């Protein structure tokens, strides 16, 4: 018994020793900035001078700021379109790459590669592809008979669709998650359905989709959270301006400008707190609605 207690004590000490670096990093670089941001959101702070407490002044100004609503509308535009399109595209690719064909590892690698390219590099690549005069995309459209192709990132109308195209370029990571989920579906279910005479569409509807709902729920939740925080692609392709005419000014880019261009750290912290509350509410709603459509096999047994 004494030896067992000694072993457990040594294991406990080793556990705390190994977890201490992570715990310190989490407290200093995550919890600390969150608490500091919460405090600064109630102050007027420009880095150069000490923060001055203003109460709800930042929030009152925020909710009367036209660009706050403009940036939030642009962000919601991307959330509503990018998230479902990315899920559909990734799921379709995963279904194709789940087939038993020759050279399957090569195809999987090809479709996954764009997702590991850094956002900055892929954004610059797409800036060249979508260049109105000599870009490959407009060159291909002209060869197909389109005399006046879109100006893409230089157009208030086409800038957001162009950004959606760039964002969908990196759907390989979501595809990989769906592929793992598909390979976890028991083959016995498909075999039983095939014996019963179920068509391929019926098997997809009554087996594949229900079994994939936990994975779909995960990607939906993470997709909404990440799209609300879209920043790098928009910053690179618009040189941090969110143009033309603020048509691509997303919420996080506006927050960045307030904090690190105009040095209004208190105002930027208030914006961050509002975004946190919005994402938190949406996430809670998703989890509340999950039992309606998410199927967990263990719970149904």
76-117 pLDDT, tens digit per residue, is 999 999 999 999 999 999 999 988 878 888 888 888 888 888
Q: What is the CATH number of the domain that holds 260?
A: 1.10.3720.10
pLDDT in tens, 112-171: 888 888 889 999 999 999 999 889 999 999 999 888 899 999 999 999 999 999 999 888
CB atoms inside a 10 Å sphere around CB 274 = 19
User: Dihedrals φ, ψ of 213, to 5°?
Assistant: -60, -35
With the C-alpha atoms ordered 18, 23, 25, 26, is the resulting torsion angle positive or negative?
positive
What pLDDT is recorded for position 298? 58
Can you tell me the distance from the alpha carbon of 249 to that of 235, in angstroms, rounded to the nearest whole number? 9
> In the chain, what is the greatest distance between 2 CA atoms, to the nearest angstrom?
86
Exposure on the CB side of residue 150, measured as CA atoms within 13 A: 14
What pLDDT is recorded for position 170? 85
Query: How many structural domains comprise the chain?
Result: 1
Tell me: pLDDT of 245 over 80: yes
Q: Determine if the peptide bond prior to 144 is cis (ω within 30°).
A: no
Q: Are 279 and 197 within 8 A, CB to CB?
A: no
Mean pLDDT of the chain: 91
Residue 1 within a domain: no
Residue 31 within a domain: no
Average pLDDT estimate for 212-241: 94
What pLDDT is recorded for position 268? 96
Residue 202 within a domain: yes
Residue 267 within a domain: yes
Tell me: pLDDT of 301 over 50: no
Which residues form the domain of 135?
64-300
Residue 37 within a domain: no
Angle 39-287-160 from CA coordinates, rounded to 5°: 70
Q: Are 274 and 59 within 8 A, CB to CB?
A: yes
Residue 11 within a domain: no
pTM exceeds 0.85 for this model: yes
* DSSP summary character for residue 53: E
Return the closest-CA partner of residue 122 out of 109, 133, 113.
113
What pLDDT is recorded for position 139? 92
Return the closest-CA partner of residue 152 out of 143, 142, 167, 165.
165
Question: Do strands 43-44 and 52-53 pair parallel, antiparallel, or not at all (unpaired)?
Answer: antiparallel
Residue 3 within a domain: no
Residue 50 within a domain: no
Band (pLDDT 50/70/90 cuts) for residue 6 is confident
What pLDDT is recorded for position 234? 94
What pLDDT is recorded for position 254? 96
- Percentage of the chain with pLDDT > 70? 98
- Token pair of 5 as six digits: 């207690």
pLDDT in tens, 277-292: 999 999 999 999 999 9
Average pLDDT estimate for 1-28: 85
């Amino acid at each position: 018994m004494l030896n067992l207690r000694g072993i457990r004590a040594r294991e406990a000490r080793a556990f705390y020793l190994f977890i201490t670096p992570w715990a310190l990093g989490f407290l200093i670089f995550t919890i600390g900035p969150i608490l500091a941001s919460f405090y600064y959101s109630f102050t007027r702070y420009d880095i150069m001078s000490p923060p001055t407490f203003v109460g709800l002044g930042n929030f009152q100004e925020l909710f009367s700021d036209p660009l706050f609503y403009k940036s939030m509308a642009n962000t919601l535009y991307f959330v509503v379109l990018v998230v479902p399109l990315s899920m559909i595209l990734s799921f379709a690719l995963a279904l194709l790459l789940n087939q038993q064909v020759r050279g399957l590892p090569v195809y999987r690698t090809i479709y996954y590669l764009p997702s590991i390219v850094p956002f900055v590099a892929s954004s610059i690549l797409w800036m060249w592809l979508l260049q109105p005069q000599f870009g490959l995309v407009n060159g291909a459209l002209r060869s197909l008979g389109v005399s006046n192709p879109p100006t893409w990132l230089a157009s208030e109308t086409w800038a957001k669709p162009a950004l959606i195209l760039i964002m969908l370029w990196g759907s390989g990571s979501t595809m990989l998650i769906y592929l793992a989920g598909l390979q976890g579906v028991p083959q016995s279910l498909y075999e039983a359905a095939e014996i019963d005479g179920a068509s391929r569409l019926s098997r997809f509807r009554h087996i594949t989709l229900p079994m994939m709902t936990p994975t779909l729920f995960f990607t939906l939740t993470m997709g909404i959270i990440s799209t609300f925080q879209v920043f790098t692609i928009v910053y690179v392709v618009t040189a941090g301006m969110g143009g033309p005419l603020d048509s691509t000014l997303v919420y996080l880019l506006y927050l960045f400008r307030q904090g690190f261009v105009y040095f209004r750290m208190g105002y930027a912290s208030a914006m961050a707190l509002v975004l946190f509350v919005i994402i938190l509410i949406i996430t809670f709603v998703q989890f509340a609605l999950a039992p309606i459509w998410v199927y967990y096999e263990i719970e149904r047994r």
